[in-house]
Amino acid sequence: RRAIFASFGLGKSLMQLEAERLILAETGGRGLIVCPLGVRQEFARDARMLGLETTFIRSAAEASRDGIYLTNYETIRDGKLDPRGFDVVSLDEAAILRGFGGTKTFRELMRLYEGSSAFRFVATATPSPNEFIELLSYAAFLDILDVGQGKTRFFKRDSEHADRLTLHPHMEDEFWHWVASWALFLQKP
């Protein structure tokens, strides 16, 4: 359960494919990459570069064998495919989780993964270091730390704006060490 925060062009799709390949080589089973519809061809191209095959699916019936599958967020959100049937799941362009609690997609993904033991990854361009709710949302999806617990542990609260967080000065180092324990930030090759 890890996050890949890599700037545009640094190969997030290759990283996700390789992480799934390595896990599935060890454990067997099926992997799923959930991505925006417009990038599925990029994944297919990058998979070929790695000697892998991917299949785009819109239902579990289309994923009858071991391997890596692709689907889009709408398929998951609309209940056409339950990602819990996969051994490894990676969310590409995971900034979809940024809308913590306010979007149907976020709520559905959190509901589906509650208590799931699957390997999970999120990948997106490097998030703003001051968007603490975004980082806490990724941690919550990865089942690393609940958002409420993160808020209490690391932040001062603004009584007028619930999600306006200010990092406690004495917790700054601990917070970034904690983030570094589950996320990788890449800005340059």
Pick 141 or 126 by higher pLDDT. 141
- Write down the pTM of the prediction: 0.88
Q: Which DSSP string do the residues of the chain spell out, in sequence order? A: -EEEEE-TTS-HHHHHHHHHHHHHHHH-SEEEEEE-GGGHHHHHHHHHHTT--EEE-SSGGG--SSEEEEEEHHHHHTTS--GGGSSEEEEETGGGGGGTTTSHHHHHHHHHHTT--SEEEEEESPPPTT-HHHHHHHHHHTTSS-HHHHHHHHEEEETTEEEEEEE-GGGHHHHHHHHHTTEEEES--
Q: What are 37-91's pLDDT values in tens digits?
A: 889 999 999 999 999 999 999 998 999 999 999 999 889 888 899 888 899 999 9
The pLDDT, as a whole number, for residue 102 is 53
Q: What are 157-176's pLDDT values in tens digits?
A: 777 876 778 899 999 999 99
Q: What are 74-83's pLDDT values in tens digits?
A: 898 888 998 8
